[in-house]
C-alpha cells in the first residue's frame, strides 16, 4: 500500500504536461541537443505518459526509452523504472531507480528533475525487499572448472555460489564439468524469495537429443576423441599372406557352398513332394479302373495319368537339382576349409555362381566352380 501511495503521488507530481515542459528548461543536455532531438524527446515523453496512464506498460517503456535516447532527463528514467516494475522486471527497475538517486543535479536543475529524484529514493526503498535472490551450489565437480547454465545461457562464473538477484519467474539450471553433468533443476521464483539451487554433477555419457528426461546434445567440457592411429589390416594366413574376404569378412567359397547346399536341400524336398503326388495320382487312376473302367471315365483316367506324368517329371527335376546343388555346395565348402597348398593367389579364385533353369518339361542348374 505504501508503494502504491508513493507511485500515485509521484505520478501526480510529474504529469505529462510538466514533464514535457521541463525538457525546455536550460540544462547542459538540452543545450547540446538539436531542435529535432528536443522535439522528438518531448513527443516521445508525451506518448509514453499517455500510455502509462492507460496502463500500457510495455508501450510506455518503449516510448520513454526512445525519449531518453534522444535527450537524458531523470523523469524519463523514472518512468522507465515504473514500467519495468509493472512488467515484473524488478532488477532492471532497481538499476534505473539507483541511476536517478546517484545522479548529481545542477543547482539550476528543473523542479521536475528534483521531484523525479525524490520519487526515485522512495520507490527504490519500496522495491528493494521485493527482489528475490537465488544461489546456485554445485557439488561433485572435483578440481576441474564448472559451467552453470540458466535457461540455456551460461552464468558468469563469478555469480556461481553467491545470492543473485533475479526477476520473478520460472528458471532452469544445469551444471557441467569435464565428463560430468547434472540433471536440469527447475524452480519458480516469487517476489521476496530467498532460494538455493543444488546441482549434483555425475558421470554421464552424452545422449542423443530427445532420449530421456534430460536432453544432452554435447558435453561442453568434454575433450575431443582421438582418431585411430592406424587402419585395421585384414587377417593373414600361416604363410603371412592376406586372406581375401568379402565386405562382410566371409570367404566367397564358403558363402557359395552354403548357397549350393541350400539349393540342393530345396531341390530334394521338391522331388519328394512331387514324387508323392505322382504316386497318389497313379493310385487314384488304378483304383478307378480296378474292376474295369466305368463308362464315361476315360477322360478322368486320362487326366489323372497326365497329372501323374507331370508330377513324375517335376520330381525328377527336383532330385536332379537337389543332387547337383548338394554336390556343388559340398565341393565349395570343402575348398573353403582347405588351405591353398600350391601358394596360388587367392584373388585368382573365381567366385562360384549357381543359376537354376526350367524349360518345357525339363529343368537343371548351371554355374561356375
Q: How confident is the model at residue 9 (pLDDT cuts 50, 70, 90)?
A: very low
Inform me whether the pLDDT recorded for 194 exceeds 80: yes
- Write out the three cell numbers for 190: 516469487
Inform me whether the pLDDT recorded for 163 exceeds 50: yes
CB atoms within 10 A of CB 242: 12
> Quick one: pLDDT at residue 352?
57
Using alpha carbons only, what angle is made at residue 148 by residues 143 and 149, rounded to the nearest 5 degrees?
160
Place of cell 549350393: 260
**Residue with more model confidence, 215 or 299:** 299
**Residue with more model confidence, 336 or 79:** 79
> Quick one: pLDDT at residue 173?
98
Half-sphere exposure of 191 (CA within 13 A, CB side): 11
Please compute Rg for the chain using Cα positions: 47
CB atoms within 10 A of CB 153: 7
| Residue among 195, 196, 197, 193 nearest 129 (CA) | 193
Q: How confident is the model at residue 136 (pLDDT cuts 50, 70, 90)?
A: very high
Q: How far apart are CA 323 and CA 364, in angstroms?
A: 10
Q: How far apart are CA 235 and CA 245, in angstroms?
A: 9
Q: How far apart are CA 206 and CA 236, in angstroms?
A: 38
Q: By the 8 A CB rule, do 170 and 162 touch?
A: no
Q: By the 8 A CB rule, do 215 and 209 touch?
A: yes
Task: Report the range of poorest mean pLDDT among 63-67, 270-274, 299-303, 352-356.
Answer: 352-356
| Residue among 195, 184, 105, 110 nearest 148 (CA) | 184
**Residue with more model confidence, 219 or 265:** 265
Inform me whether the pLDDT recorded for 321 exceeds 90: no
Q: How confident is the model at residue 184 (pLDDT cuts 50, 70, 90)?
A: very high
Q: How confident is the model at residue 48 (pLDDT cuts 50, 70, 90)?
A: very high
pLDDT mean across residues, the chain: 77
Place of cell 520460472: 170
> Quick one: pLDDT at residue 368?
59
Q: How far apart are CA 83 and CA 88, in angstroms?
A: 9
Task: Report the range of poorest mean pLDDT among 186-190, 203-207, 344-348.
Answer: 344-348
Helices (H) and strands (E) in the chain, counts: 10, 11
Q: How far apart are CA 214 and CA 275, in angstroms?
A: 66
Cα dihedral 63, 69, 73, 78 sign: positive
Q: Where are the beta strands (DSSP E) in 65-208?
A: 133-139, 147-150, 153-154, 164-165, 169-177, 180-181, 185-189, 194-200, 202-203
Q: How far apart are CA 233 and CA 222, in angstroms?
A: 31
Q: How confident is the model at residue 219 (pLDDT cuts 50, 70, 90)?
A: very low
Place of cell 516510448: 63
Q: How far apart are CA 288 and CA 286, in angstroms?
A: 5
Q: How far apart are CA 85 and CA 82, in angstroms?
A: 5
pTM value is 0.51
> Quick one: pLDDT at residue 51?
97
Q: How far apart are CA 336 and CA 346, in angstroms?
A: 11
Question: Running DSSP on this structure, what letter comes out for residue 242?
Answer: B
Q: By the 8 A CB rule, do 63 and 45 touch?
A: yes
Amino acid at each position: 500500500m505504501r508503494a502504491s501511495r508513493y507511485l500515485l503521488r509521484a505520478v501526480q507530481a510529474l504529469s505529462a504536461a510538466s514533464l514535457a515542459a521541463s525538457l525546455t528548461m536550460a540544462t547542459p543536455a538540452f543545450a547540446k541537443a538539436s531542435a529535432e532531438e528536443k522535439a522528438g524527446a518531448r513527443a516521445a515523453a508525451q506518448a509514453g505518459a499517455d500510455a502509462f496512464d492507460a496502463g500500457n506498460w510495455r508501450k510506455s517503456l518503449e516510448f520513454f526509452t526512445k525519449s531518453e535516447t534522444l535527450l537524458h532527463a531523470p523523469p524519463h528514467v523514472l518512468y522507465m523504472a515504473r514500467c519495468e516494475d509493472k512488467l515484473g522486471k524488478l532488477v532492471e527497475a532497481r538499476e534505473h531507480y539507483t541511476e536517478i538517486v546517484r545522479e548529481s543535479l545542477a543547482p539550476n536543475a528543473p523542479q521536475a528533475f528534483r521531484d523525479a529524484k525524490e520519487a526515485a529514493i522512495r520507490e527504490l526503498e519500496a522495491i528493494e525487499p521485493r527482489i528475490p535472490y537465488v544461489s546456485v551450489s554445485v557439488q561433485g565437480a572435483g578440481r576441474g572448472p564448472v559451467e552453470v547454465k540458466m535457461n540455456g545461457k551460461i552464468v558468469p562464473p563469478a555469480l556461481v555460489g553467491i545470492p543473485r538477484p533475479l526477476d520473478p519467474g520460472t528458471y532452469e539450471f544445469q551444471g557441467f564439468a569435464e565428463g560430468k553433468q547434472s540433471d536440469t533443476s527447475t524452480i519458480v521464483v516469487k517476489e521476496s524469495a530467498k532460494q538455493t539451487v543444488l546441482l549434483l554433477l555425475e558421470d554421464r555419457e552424452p545422449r542423443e537429443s530427445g532420449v530421456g528426461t534430460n536432453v544432452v546434445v554435447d558435453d561442453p567440457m568434454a575433450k575431443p576423441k582421438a582418431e585411430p592411429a592406424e587402419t585395421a589390416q585384414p587377417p593373414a594366413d600361416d604363410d603371412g599372406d592376406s586372406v581375401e574376404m568379402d565386405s562382410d569378412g566371409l570367404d566367397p567359397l564358403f558363402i557359395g557352398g552354403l548357397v549350393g547346399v541350400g539349393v540342393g536341400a530345396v531341390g530334394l524336398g521338391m522331388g519328394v513332394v512331387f514324387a508323392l503326388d505322382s504316386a497318389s495320382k497313379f493310385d487314384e487312376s488304378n483304383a478307378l479302373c480296378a474292376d474295369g473302367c466305368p463308362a464315361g471315365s476315360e477322360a478322368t483316367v486320362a487326366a489323372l495319368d497326365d497329372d501323374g506324368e507331370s508330377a513324375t517329371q517335376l520330381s525328377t527335376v527336383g532330385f536332379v537339382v537337389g543332387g547337383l546343388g548338394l554336390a556343388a555346395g559340398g565341393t565349395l565348402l570343402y575348398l573353403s576349409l582347405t588351405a591353398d597348398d600350391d601358394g596360388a593367389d587367392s584373388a585368382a579364385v573365381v567366385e562360384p555362381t549357381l543359376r537354376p533353369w526350367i524349360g518345357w518339361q525339363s529343368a537343371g542348374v548351371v554355374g561356375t566352380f
